């Protein structure tokens, strides 16, 4: 698996999720399986089947997180802010509307549009990569063409 670049915050969030799944969630699912098993015949027990399926999904997510964290690289927060790179916060001006926007470029695992965190693999994220302040960037998206001027890059 290729390296995954995460901010310290994103790495910590994945670690917390993994810990929760391994401890609290595993206990809850084990208890649910035990309760369903206690109801008698498990061959036609929907609660038992649902609990076993949930347990399987939980174990799958644990394995995914462990794999991601094993190949994770934490971004150096002292990287230059001369150009747009993963981990950078970019202030943009939409050339057409004049609206100002701010995004932080993160790995796909950390993306959260509501918090202004966009993936570097998204059309906008990849379109901004390696550009500098004052440059005008044209980004093709499914809905058309976006034109942004980069106003500021920070870490």
Residue 95 sits in a domain whose CATH number is: 3.10.50.30
| Same domain for 67 and 9 | yes
- pLDDT range class, residue 145, cuts 50, 70, 90: very high
HEC profile for the chain?
Answer: CCCEEECHHHHHHHHHHHHHHHHHHHHHHHHHHHHHHCCCCCCCCHHHHHHHHHHHHHHHHHHHHHHHHHCEEECCCCCCCCECCCCCEEEEEECCCCCEEEEEEECHHHCEHHHCEEECCCHHHHHHCCCECCCEEEEEECCEEEEEEEEEEEC
| Same domain for 93 and 69 | no
Task: Say if 31 falls within a structural domain.
Answer: yes
Structural domain boundaries, residue 113: 89-154
Task: Say if 83 falls within a structural domain.
Answer: no
Q: How many structural domains are present in the chain? A: 2
Task: Say if 101 falls within a structural domain.
Answer: yes
| Same domain for 110 and 142 | yes
Please write the tens of the pLDDT for every residue from 32-52.
Answer: 999 988 887 778 888 899 999
Which CATH number is 13's domain given?
A: 1.10.287.180
pTM of the model: 0.70
| Same domain for 96 and 49 | no
Please write the tens of the pLDDT for every residue from 62-71.
Answer: 999 999 899 8
Whether the predicted pLDDT of 26 surpasses 70: yes
């Amino acid at each position: 698996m290729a390296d995954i670049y995460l901010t310290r915050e994103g790495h910590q969030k994945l670690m917390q999720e993994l810990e929760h799944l391994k401890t609290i969630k595993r206990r809850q699912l084990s208890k649910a399986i035990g309760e369903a098993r206690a109801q008698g015949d498990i061959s036609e027990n929907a609660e038992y089947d649902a609990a076993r399926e949930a347990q399987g999904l939980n174990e799958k997510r644990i394995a995914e997180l462990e794999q991601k964290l094993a190949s994770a690289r934490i971004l150096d927060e002292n990287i230059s802010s001369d150009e747009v790179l993963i981990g950078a916060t970019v202030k943009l001006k939409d050339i057409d509307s004049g609206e100002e926007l701010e995004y932080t470029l993160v790995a796909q695992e950390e993306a959260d549009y509501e918090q202004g965190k966009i993936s570097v693999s998204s059309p906008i994220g990849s379109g901004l990569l390696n550009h500098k302040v004052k440059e005008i960037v044209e980004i093709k998206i499914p809905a058309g063409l976006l034109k942004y001027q980069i106003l500021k890059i920070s870490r």
